[in-house]
Structures are given as structure tokens and as C-alpha cells.
Amino acid sequence: MDISNIATNDYIEVESEERLGKVRSIFEDKNPKGIIVTEAGQYDGVITERQLIGSHIEDDTRVAALTKPAPKVDRTEDVRDTARMLVEGGTKIAPVFEAGELWGIVSEDAILEAVLENLDALTVGQIYTENVVTIEEDDNMGTVINRLREHGISRLPVVDEDGFLTGVVTVHDIVDFVVRDISKTTRGDRRGEVERMLDLPVYDAMSSPVETVTVDASVEDAVETMLDNDYSGLVVTPAGDDRVVGGILTKTDVLRALSYTEEDRMDVQITNVELLDTLSRQEVVERIEQVASKYGDMRVHHAHVRLHKHKEKLRGTPLIMCQLRLRTNKGQMAGTGEGYGADNAFYMALDLLERNVLEEKGIERDEEYKGQLLRKLNEL
């Protein structure tokens, strides 16, 4: 299936020189999944609600300051490949091009609606995120915002002093809280007003009661609930107790599961994939597979490549940090490296990852040898 029937040319567009204040008003009034940014009439990137949460920038700043690249999608791109590109690009929408010209957008919601009936074979327990960041009712909104920024997430389950679920606070819940227009006051008054708002308890802004889903529910039912209520995620609870936070299921989790279904294909996610320069995605996957194959008994369930660009440059080439993390049947394996250009950073991280994999393999062999030796000694 391709995206030709699910892409749309109904989207919101702003110029890169527009004020952020206008963009914030658009998100408050129209609640789009993202906004296309153009420069002199040509596609430049996208801006999302999460970027506004992660910004201290004033309303008078130009949109260009927060514009981020998003994967460009062809009008007839495969649905699974498009889902993968949305996950790797960390975006809810992607620009759709036809004959080299911007035609429209495709959203995560459109993809999920198109494949909904094919999701009944999956259960929530197979794809949800278990390690959940939470917030307590008495924590203030400043803590909420910092935690969202720190972990790069869009929602936080709220728990009481006993650790039981009482609410949820999301980027959408607090966007007007963070960016509300106080333009009628002076700059000094505005600063004081913002500080006062940041001191308010989470309880004042959270949504309650919380829509939950159990680990044994079908992904089809969970996605249908999200689409019907315009939720980006659901709190996952153990069967029989909706007070206990067991995890989170997001639309991104579903897209990731949709992207990788072939058993012989390693699940590799690349964050900030646009930073890849001379490296191809296929080369990244092949090199990780080569490292993993050196530990014959190890099976990689998921590989995450995260690229981050520093401001420092050498002859115009930015300093890149690359983090590699493998989730395997032998536990987590990781490697981090820095270099000028994504290829150098990747190979530095890959070298450390390989050493860690081989070290773990050696430890396992030592344990096996120790066990064999002890068994022989016991036989004497």
C-alpha cells in the first residue's frame, strides 16, 4: 500500500519570517499535528507543538529559529517506509512531494487509520514502552516542563503519594499554559507572571480521569481509542488494576511496530536521520548487523542510533555525537562516539560498541569455562 490515497493537500503553512507568537496562536486555536514552514514560497521544514514546549524563545522571534527538517515523502511512497521515516524524523507529519514540488502532507493519524484493521493481531503488551517517567501531583509545572524537555516525551502520567495513577499531563494540555499571551503587561510583570505559573502544582493542569488500556488489549482497539479521542498515547495498566502505571503506548510505538514486521530484518531506528551525510541508512544497518554477528548467541531485538549536532565546526563540518544502543537477548549494549561529520561519529561509536559486545561475549565464555571447571572439580 502506498500513501497516494491518504496524503492530503489540506495543511497549514507559515513563512519562516513569521513571528512565533502567530504559530503559538495557531496551535491553540486549530490544534494541527504540525505546521509546514516555507521560505520565499519554498518548503523549509516543519514546526511542532513539542518544539514550542522545549523553547524559552520569545513570541517576537522568527519561526526560522525553531524550524526543523522533516523527511520528504514521495506521493506514492510505501506506507511502511513512510511510518519508519516519521518515527526516525521524530515528527507527526511529513511533507509530500510530487514531481519535485510540495503537494501536501501525510500524518501519523492518516497512516494509522489506513492500517487499523491490520493491527488486531498485535497486543499492547508486545509493543508498549515499559520504562515510564511519571510526575507527582504536588510537583510544580516548572518540573513538568523540565521533565518533558529532558526526556523528549509528550506526556507524563501523574501519580499520588502512594504511586497510584490520578491523571496525565501532556504537551497539548500545557501548551497555552506555557505560551499564553501576556502582552498587555510590562516585561517585568510578564516575568513575574511566568514564574508564578511555573510554581502551580501539576494537579491544576492535569487531565483526569485517565484513559487507560491493559497489556492484553489489542493494538487495534487501543489505536481506535486514540484516534476517536485525539489522544497521542494511552497509559498502560496491568489487567485488573487501572491504578497502577505499567507503561505507555503511543502512536509512535505503533508506527515503529508497523515499520518492522519482517523477522529477518533488524529493527533499527535512527533519530535525526537528516544528519547522515555520506553514510546511507542501509550501510548503518549492515555495519550494526556485522558487529552483532560477532556474538553468535546474541539476538538484537531493537537498535537505536541517535545523532546530535554540536555548534562546533571544523572547516565547515559540524561536530556530531553518535549514540548506539542495542536491546538484545543478552541485555543492553551501547557505544558512544564523537567526530566531525556523521560518518566519523558513527564509526567511533561503532568501534566502542564492538568492543563492548566482544567483552560481553568474553565474560559469558569465562562464566561457561568457570562452570565447566567447577563441574569437573566436583566429579573428582
What confidence tens digit (pLDDT) does each residue in 178-234 have? 555 444 444 444 444 556 667 888 888 888 888 999 999 999 999 999 999 989 899
CA end-to-end distance (rounded Å), the chain: 66
Position 262 scores a pLDDT of 44
Position 177 scores a pLDDT of 61
C-alpha to C-alpha distance for 107 and 93, rounded to whole angstroms: 4
Q: Do domains 13-107 and 124-257 have the same CATH topology?
A: yes
Please answer whether residues 142 and 285 qualify as being in contact, where contact means their C-beta atoms are separated by less than 8 angstroms: no
Q: What are the residue ranges in the chain where pLDDT is below 70?
A: 53-57, 175-197, 259-266, 362-380
**Domain residue ranges in the chain:** 13-107, 124-257, 268-376
Q: Identify the CATH homologous superfamily for domain 268-376.
A: Ribosome hibernation promotion factor-like (3.30.160.100)
Position 264 scores a pLDDT of 45
Position 186 scores a pLDDT of 44
The CATH number of 124-257 is 3.10.580.10
Helical H runs in the chain? 20-30, 49-53, 79-89, 108-115, 124-127, 141-151, 171-179, 187-198, 219-229, 251-259, 281-293, 342-379
Distance of CA 68 to the CA centre of its chain: 14
Position 194 scores a pLDDT of 54
Any idea which residue has 555525537 for its cell?
321
Q: Identify the CATH homologous superfamily for domain 13-107.
A: CBS-domain (3.10.580.10)
Position 55 scores a pLDDT of 54
β-bridge partners, 325: 304, 334
Q: Is 10 left (phi over 0), alpha (psi -120 to 50) or beta?
A: beta
**Residue 16 corresponds to which cell in the numbers above?**
519562516
Please answer whether residues 260 and 267 qualify as being in contact, where contact means their C-beta atoms are separated by less than 8 angstroms: yes
Position 277 scores a pLDDT of 76
Q: For 214, how many CA atoms within 13 A lie in the half-sphere containing its CB?
A: 7
Overall residue count recorded for the chain in this entry: 380
**Residue 142 corresponds to which cell in the numbers above?**
516548572
Contacts of 284 (CB under 8 A, 6+ apart): 268, 270, 276, 305, 346
Please answer whether residues 129 and 106 qualify as being in contact, where contact means their C-beta atoms are separated by less than 8 angstroms: no
**Residue 218 corresponds to which cell in the numbers above?**
489489542
Position 367 scores a pLDDT of 58
